[in-house]
Amino acid sequence: AQSVTQLGSHVSVSEGALVLLRCNYSSSVPPYLFWYVQYPNQGLQLLLKYTTGATLVKGINGFEAEFKKSETSFHLTKPSAHMSDAAEYFCAVTPRGTGRRALTFGSGTRLQVQP
Amino acid sequence: EAQVTQNPRYLITVTGKKLTVTCSQNMNHEYMSWYRQDPGLGLRQIYYSMNVEVTDKGDVPEGYKVSRKEKRNFPLILESPSPNQTSLYFCASRQGSANEQYFGPGTRLTVT
């Protein structure tokens, strides 16, 4: 069974500082990997995804993530935080191949950006 | 505009009174899912559908029913709601496992 662990339920950074949100997965085969963002009172929106190819993927709003198979990680980064980045971020995985393709979410990390 | 719609957005009900939350997508997606979101637990899948008349249990299916009679619709049914089903519910759809999952705006359900 696959699982996702997000370290830190709350992360606080200053505006302009580096954002680093951690995600580790547990799966017998490297899965497809996703980061979603949820702004207050809204649904989830895809930030970026890794399926195959280059392990550093770029997403919307200046975010990027790197798939590291040896570390079973898919950490999300942004060089310079903006106030509008304040939201909750979810890492998610789904298995490759046929069969049930459930999307499993981590418990989320709430990002706070201080002025 | 490509979207997933849910109704109602907010619902307050009493224990035992049957309710249905509707979900519809206009993208001709094969896969549809229902999730519930609770603080500190992230999103947990309730039920999942791979196509018309094909549904499967997720991680927390107890107390819920679904049906998929048409490709675009995937209603969530609570036959006898209980207070522990108070939560924020999201419907979602996607075309394939490697593809983006589109989420509805959410339904906030309170069961008293």
Are the Cβ atoms of A95 and B40 closer than 8 angstroms? no
Identify the pLDDT of residue A99. 53
Q: What are the pLDDT digits (tens) for A90-100?
A: 999 988 865 55
Partner residue facing A43 (CB), from B50, B58, B90: B90
User: What does A49-89 look like in DSSP terms, one character per residue?
Assistant: EE-SS-SEEE-GGG-EEEEEGGGTEEEEEESS--GGG-EEE
Identify the pLDDT of residue A71. 93
Residues 6+ apart with CB under 8 A from A35: A21, A23, A46, A47, A48, A49, A59, A63, A65, A74, A76, A89, A90, A91, A92
- B23 and chain A in contact, CB less than 8 A: no
Q: How far apart are CA B96 and CA B85, in angstroms?
A: 29
Residues 6+ apart with CB under 8 A from A41: none
Question: Of A5, A92, A47, A107, which is closest to residue B33 (Cα–Cα)?
Answer: A92
Q: What are the pLDDT digits (tens) for B3-20?
A: 999 999 999 999 999 999
Identify the pLDDT of residue B42. 86
- B90 and chain A in contact, CB less than 8 A: yes
- Mean pLDDT across chain B, nearest whole number? 93
Which residues are A25's β-sheet partners?
A4
Q: What are the pLDDT digits (tens) for A41-77?
A: 888 999 999 988 899 999 999 999 999 999 999 999 9
